Amino acid sequence: MTQELVIGLVSVSDRASQGVYQDQGIPALEAWFRSAIKSPPWRTVTRLIPDEQPVIEATLRELVDEQGCHLVLTTGGTGPAPRDVTPEATLAVADRVMPGFGEQMRQISLKFVPTAILSRQVAVIRRNCLIINLPGQPKSIKETLEGLKGPAGEVIVSGIFAAVPYCIDLIGGPYIETHDEVVKAFRPKSALRPPAQ
């Protein structure tokens, strides 16, 4: 039987969590996953929380340890402002750090804005779950996940999601297949399986 993919989505925002404005991060991520994931069946577990490090840490632990998420994506709280503590909370719950994700996200964003160097996004593994901090803006979220494409659709800079399915393979999660026109998952030939019917 195919294992269901469980994705945790966490929007970190003082104002959105207080109802001052509507959160855009979680709806943008859910729409992106609907366009990107071919298989297996998947569902999201969502949380909208304030920029409080103990709350962020507790939420990440709950999503991994109790909800059984294979992948958790956060949006917001990754800048240099005093209230931006998402990276610190993420590192506090980590078993291992995956620095390549943060490096690639900043590389992509620098193609658009010079202030990308102010972003402190990190990615970590807790148990058998990959946790990644994403930007807060829906446009930036999409660019970060998909990367940069040229006029003919050719990949100029790979988005981070190209590496996510194989990472989840390696830590014991379900085998994720994507729609190549959105983002092509990369695996070594030895890790490929026949396409799902």
**Any domain includes 196:** no
In a domain, 99, yes or no: yes
For residue 181, being part of any structural domain is answered with yes
Q: How many CA atoms lie within 13 A of 76 on its CB side?
A: 24
In this structure, what CATH number is given to the domain that contains residue 28? 3.40.980.10
How much of the chain exceeds pLDDT 90, in percent?
81
The answer to whether the CB of 130 falls within 8 A of the CB of 68 is no
The pLDDT score that the predictor gives to residue 196 is 66
Mean of pLDDT values over 48-68: 97
The total domain count for the chain is: 1
For the chain, give the number of residues: 197
pLDDT digits (tens, 9 = 90+) for 88-140: 999 999 999 999 999 999 999 999 899 999 999 999 999 999 999 999 889 99
CA distance 173 to 16: 31
User: Which residue range is the domain that position 27 belongs to?
Assistant: 5-191
